[in-house]
Amino acid sequence: MKQGWTYKKLGDLCDIYQPKTLATEQLVADGKYYVYGANGIIGRYNDYNHEQSEILLTCRGATCGTINISQPYSWINGNAMVIHRKSEDLSFDFLKYLMLSLDYSLIITGAAQPQITRQKIAPIIVKFPSLSVQQSIVSELDKINELIRLKKEQLKDYDNLAQSIFYEMFGDPVVNEKGWDNSTIESVCSSIVRGPFGSALKKEFFVESTNDTYKVYEQKHAIQKNHIIGSYYITKEKFQELRRFEVFPGDIIMSCSGTIGEFYQIPKEAEKGVMNQALLKFTLNENRTTTEFFMFLMNFIKNSFETKGTGLQNIGSVKVIKSMILGLPPLSLQQLFAQRIELIEKQKAEIQSTIADLETLLASRMQYWFD
C-alpha cells in the first residue's frame, strides 16, 4: 500500500451510468453538438445531455475497456459508460489516468457481444492520494504525453511533405494532368490476387504456432502496418493447398473488407504464410514501377474515392482495381521519388524510435503510480 493514499470502491468515488441512446436516424448532419458512441464521436445532434467533459468507458463491443474524453456540451450514448467524479477532491485528469491504468479484461463478460456492466466495475478498489499529489502526478504524465503528441505531429509533417513531393513531381495521376503514358493498375503488377474464399480458410483449420506451421495474414496486418501481430497459423499441408495465396517479402497487401484501402508492404523478415479472404495482394513488376510510387498512387486513389463520395467498397474489387487507368511516369522519375522518400523515412524512423522510448517511459511511470 502507498503511504498516505486512500483506498475506495470506484462506485463510491464516481457516479457510473449509461445515458439514453439516440437512434442513428435521430442524428443531425449539421447539428450543434457532438454525439459520442462506444468509440468516440459518431455524429451530431441539436441537443446535449452533458455540459462538462466526461470520462467515457466503452462498455459494449470489441473495444470494451477503451477510454475516451468527451467535449463539453455533448450528447453521450449508452454504449459509452460515464465515469463522473462525485467530489472536487478527485482531480478529473487524475481520474482519467486512473481509468487508463485499470485492467478491464477480468470484468468483461459475453463472448458474442463483450460488455462491461456497472455491477462489475463499481466494486473495483482504486487508490488515490491527496489532491496536491494528484496534481503533481498529472503534471508529470501530461509532460510525457505532450512530448509524444509533438513527435506525432512531426510525423504528420513528414507525411505531408512526402505527399507534396508526390504531387509536385507527378500531379494528379488519376486526372493525369502531366500527360504521362496511360496504364492500368494490372499492367504495372506481375499479379493481383484476392485472398481465398472463407470456406477454404476457416478458423477450425488454425493450429498452435510451431517450427512447422505457417502464418495467416489478416486485414489487421495491413491496417496496423505490422507483420508481427496475429496468432493464426496453419499446418504445412494446408499451406501447400493455399500456395496461390502465399505472401512474399515485397508484396503489398491491402485490406478489402470492413476497413478498406489500408496498404502495407511485407518486409524481408516476415514469417512465411498466406493471406486470408479480407486481403488483396499486389506483386509489382519492378520494370514498370517502384514500391514507393505505387504505395503513394494507391493511397491517392483511395483518397480520391473518399473525396468524391464514390463507394470505397469498389476498391476491394479485383476487377475494378485491375482496370483502373492511371498516368504512369517514367521509371527513372519514380526512382528519384523513391530516393527522396527514403530520406524522409529515415527521419521518420528516428522520430518513431523516440516515440517508442517515450511511450515506454509513460507506461513505466503509470505502473509506478497506479500498480
DSSP 16-65: EE--PPPPGGG--TT-SEEEEETTEEEEEES--SBSS--EEEE-BSTTTT
Look up the pTM and report it: 0.81
Domain boundaries, the chain: 6-129, 133-161+331-371, 181-328
Instruction: Provide block-wise average pLDDT over 10 residues at a time, the chain (371 residues).
Output: 87 96 94 95 96 96 93 96 95 98 92 89 96 97 98 97 95 88 94 90 92 95 93 95 96 88 93 95 96 91 62 64 90 97 96 97 97 88
CA atoms of 143 and 340, how far apart (whole Å): 33
Q: Do 6-129 and 181-328 have matching folds?
A: yes
What is the CA angle 232-237-239, rounded to 5? 50
Query: Which residue type does 141 have?
Result: L
- The correct CATH number of 181-328 out of 3.90.220.20, 3.40.640.10, 3.40.50.300, 3.30.2320.50 is 3.90.220.20
The domain defined by 6-129 folds into Adenine-n6-DNA-methyltransferase TaqI; Chain A, domain 2 (3.90.220)
pLDDT given at position 309: 45
Q: Do 328 and 180 touch, CB atoms closer than 8 A?
A: yes
Q: What digits encode the pLDDT tens for the residues 10-52?
A: 999 999 999 999 999 999 999 999 999 998 999 999 999 999 9
pLDDT given at position 310: 47
Coil vs helix vs strand at 147: helix
CA atoms of 333 and 347, how far apart (whole Å): 22
Q: Do 255 and 261 touch, CB atoms closer than 8 A?
A: yes
CA distances from 236 to 167, 194, 205, 213, 218 (A): 45, 21, 11, 6, 18
CA atoms of 21 and 36, how far apart (whole Å): 10
Site of grid cell 435521430: 26
